[in-house]
Structure 1
Amino acid sequence: MTDKAPEGYRPCVGLALFNAEGLVFVGRRADKTKREHVAPGHAWQMPQGGIDEGETPLEAARRELAEETSVTSVELLAEVPGWLAYDLPVDIGKEAWKGRWRGQAQRWFAFRLTGSEDEIDILNPTGGHKAEFDAWRWARLEETPDLIIPFKRDVYREVVRHFAPFAGGAVTKG
């Protein structure tokens, strides 16, 4: 397993933050103008972000989680082995990153929230970063592929497959 993303893909991390009931954090993208982030009816996602130069994927995962949710009280549960990649539709790729990347390759980590849910603050993220999300909720892990923009669904299906053991406490209410 290498820490270098496949050629042509932007190196990123993705984060599944589980609560004690086995539900996962999803946020609704605040900026709905970027077609690489949202599609009609598909503005929800788990936290994710780029890996900075000199940063390990795990360091990036912890940083991105804090920047997007303000959460730092977590325990690491698991990591998906290797990179999960998706291609951007060509027209969106030219628009989003001026054609520099064909898509993103992500290292995915599962964390359990060990602190209070009150720690979550998406509107005033850690370090003064711009809010990525304008709403959040707990969701069943298996529903996340239906929430995400369609071209990321295969990655989310793999995340569900790898992290399903941590979602065992989730129950359908209603």
Structure 2
Amino acid sequence: MDFDITHGSAILARTPATLHALLDGLDSAWTSATEGPDTWSAYDIVGHLLHGERTDWIPRAQLILAQADTRRFAPFDRFAQFEASQGRSLAELLREFTAHREASLDTLHGWHLSDSQLALRGEHPAFGDVTLRQLLATWVAHDLGHLAQIARVMAKQYRAAVGPWREYLPILDR
């Protein structure tokens, strides 16, 4: 499927509600569990999504649209959530993520982007030239990847408890 703002926005708009439905009010045994050392919990992932909402998607899109002399993106700190989320509740992170996402989507829709604008380029620090269309498609896939990651991390908490059914639950071994 080619990227389409309407289709992509439909996913982006649903991510906060999906996170709220899945995580809000759950015991921390679910939300702080990981897959092992150096892996992320649902809490960590929400913090990561919030950090991205603040510093990645819309700021990079603005940089591309400005087409100034400097179109190089600042590197994204994939681990900033560990410091930024410290001492904050999951409910607080979810509320803030929701507010930032709504503002991001308002900004995105307010641009009324044309195909020629979606073809504009920025410079990613690792990948080089990328288009606005690619950035926005990545935003959608990024959300979906982290939703799948949360489901996987949570499912793995019952890895041993499912007994012989594990054979039919590939999510437990990925």
Q: TM-score, normalised by structure 2?
A: 0.27
More strand by share: 1
**TM-score, length-normalised on structure 1?**
0.27
Whichever of the two has the greater Rg, that structure is 2
Q: Greater share of helix residues, 1 or 2?
A: 2
